[in-house]
Chain A
Amino acid sequence: MRVLGTGLGLLLLAASFVVGSDLFGTREALFGSAAAPLRASAFSRVVTDSPEAATQRTVLRSQPWWQQVERFRGAAGQTTVAPRIRDDAIQWRMKWNCTSGRFAVATSGAAKPLIEARCPARKTVELVAKPAGPLTITAGGRWQMQVEQQVDVPLTEPPLPAMTAPGASRLSTGRFYRIDQVGTGRVTIYRLPNGRHALRLDDFYVTPNIDLEIRLSPLRAPGTTRQYRSAPAAFVQMLETTTGSMNFMLPKGVDPSRYRSVVLWCQNLLSAYAGATLKPPR
């Protein structure tokens, strides 16, 4: 009994060594990982055949966002289309409209059509299960359909061509810091050759949530939600994707020179998530 107990104890210690050192990924297999599985980033708000997409993979996750897959249009008759929905898409949807007659979308293997409607009509249908095969569209008149997929991978857009075109200039730049939530990465505000202003986020991450807004604040470095709310801020854009590198146009009439920081604001929670003090670029 004593020998058995001793042997068992030593075996447990040896097993502790294997798990504690995460040899062969044993700790992750037993207790899980904080990192999500590696997945390809998205490189555009519209699905493209980017060669980078196959190589750049990430464990970071964004708040789920809708990416346009493909747009289709047609006239009366039957058409077959095959939108390429990612295997890791959370859900997908069809935004459609038709002008006359009947409009139906069916997929092989499904007992009922995915869409069956009288036109004129305009609707959005959200579906979780990926279509088993191509979509067969039957229409009595002209129709349009946009297929979108919801993903939670980062969006890594290249800079807008206008940002590097002759006549463009960088007005200010800053690094995100935490206010109520985690925020990392860089922000840069550009003056484009046509006089408009654009804002770019690089290597960006903010704690995911819906309805986050990019705002410009006249304060240099608001450190709390209360400080941020003490001065009027300008709305820039909704932040649908919370991780990656992406571009936004500033609304006409918003003069960035009047503002000294960028703040990520959650209107639902009335919380300033993160901020970045704007400074002239070096």
Chain B
Amino acid sequence: MTAATALPSAPQLVLGRRRIPVILPKLGDPRLKLSAVIVMLQVLGQTVLDFKLSIAQILVTIGFCAVVDTSVTLWRQGVLAWPASALLTGNSIAFILRASGTKHGDWWSLHGIEWFLLAASVALLVKYFVRPGGRHRFNPSNVGLVWVLLVVGPLHVFPQYLYWGPLEAPVIAALVVIAFGAVWVLRAVRMLPMALSFLAPFTLLIALFAASGRSFVAIWEADTISGINYWLHICTSPELLIFVFFMMSDPATAPRLPAARIVYGAATALVAAALVFFQPTEYGIKVAILASLTIACAFVPLIEAATRLRGREAAEAPAGTDPPALSARWRTAVQRPASVAVALIVLSASVGTATLTANDDLILIERGMAGPRNAQ
């Protein structure tokens, strides 16, 4: 059965003798809602929030993802589909990634565009090829960002600052957009409990770290950040909220069962806190938070299986989805290349993030003492 026959009512693009079904976006698609929220934040970033990001960097990254994803879908499925996920991937990468040396207001600069395209390429490659069980395991933009931040490193790239500015109109506007966007998007995908299950333990653990004397340095703050400021800068950062509300909540990579989502949120929080604990720099903290999702996503099948085993969600599980025994699944999983790839990605994310704690370059950069080599 071809795609054309499968979608008789869909609009078609006629190219010579070939008829290509066209799949357009649906208004109810939560990905469109999420895109709208991110676009609003991008507009604020370009106008009043001083993002060190150009409009050209955003458009090229989104365009690249859209073209690649549309082409792959056309090649694999024979349909011309609206690349909703890829647009979101490109938008998220452009929203979080920064190329060192980009200045706010230099709207048409393509400075460091190669790093955006590299992150987007990694995101899409992992999405297309690392599919144990036929389903992509990692949030594409998350894995692309973590890869480029760890592999390319702080001399060329950095994630958007935790600090967006003083609590004045621009930041308040961004927080309002994030809050309304969170309710709008998370309700649609039933992820509000998951977000809370992340935020509650994470903010508590960060408070404990602050009380135990942990600190970090950031390029936007002359003094070492410790005490209550340590907690405030991490836990009330719009960057963290965006991560929780709009990245962790990807239904394609989060668990499907409500109880498993709670476990997933809490587990991600624990991993994030463990990775954050030793980080002496803002860069390290942000990579730790992002990497926690990469690690948690790898264990989603385990979380789902464990949740099912406890029987709490057995009644809600869709019919015919009973998985084989957990041990049998692990035995077969390790024999698959995709599972080996998942293991390598998890190992890279965790070890790479851990090694940031001993990166002297980062201290120098975050303290603004790299002189003419100064990054960010």
Q: Which residues from chain A sit less than 8 Å from chain B, CB to CB?
A: 6, 9-10, 13-14, 16-17, 19-22, 27-28, 31-36, 59-61, 177-178, 181-184, 205, 207-208
Q: Is the CB of A177 within 8 A of B223?
A: yes
Chain B residues, Cβ within 8 Å of A177: 222-223
The CA-CA distance from A31 to B364 in the complex, in Å, is 16
A20: shortest Cβ distance to chain B, in Å? 4
6 residue pairs A–B, Cβ–Cβ below 8 Å: A10-B337, A13-B341, A20-B352, A28-B361, A31-B152, A207-B368
Number of A-B residue pairs, CB cutoff 8 Å, is 94
- Please, which residue of chain A has its CB at the minimum distance from the CB of B130? A9
- Please, which residue of chain A has its CB at the minimum distance from the CB of B340? A10
A6: shortest Cβ distance to chain B, in Å? 5
Q: Is the CB of B351 within 8 A of A31?
A: no
- Please, which residue of chain A has its CB at the minimum distance from the CB of B222? A178
Contact with A along B348-376 (1 / 0, CB 8 A): 10011001000111001101111111110
**Partner pick for B341 among A9, A31, A178, A183, CB 8 A cutoff:** A9
Stretch at the interface among B79-87, B153-161, B245-253: B153-161
B100: shortest Cβ distance to chain A, in Å? 9
**Partner pick for A16 among B151, B223, B364, CB 8 A cutoff:** B151
Q: Is the CB of A6 within 8 A of B337?
A: yes
Contact with A along B328-351 (1 / 0, CB 8 A): 000000000100110011011001
Chain A residues, Cβ within 8 Å of B347: 17
Q: Is the CB of B374 within 8 A of A34?
A: yes
- CB contacts under 8 Å to A, within B222-242, are 222-223
**Partner pick for B147 among A20, A22, A181, CB 8 A cutoff:** A20
B298: shortest Cβ distance to chain A, in Å? 13
Q: Is the CB of A17 within 8 A of B337?
A: no
Q: Is the CB of B352 within 8 A of A17?
A: yes
Q: A182-B368, A208-B372 are in contact. List 4 more A-B contacts (CB 8 A).
A: A17-B347, A33-B155, A35-B364, A178-B368
Q: Is the CB of A31 within 8 A of B371?
A: no
- Please, which residue of chain A has its CB at the minimum distance from the CB of B219? A182
| Cβ of B129 under 8 Å from chain A | yes
The CA-CA distance from A178 to B340 in the complex, in Å, is 48
Q: Is the CB of B155 within 8 A of A32?
A: yes
**Given known contacts A33-B155, A33-B361, A34-B370, is B150 in contact with A10 (CB within 8 Å)?**
no
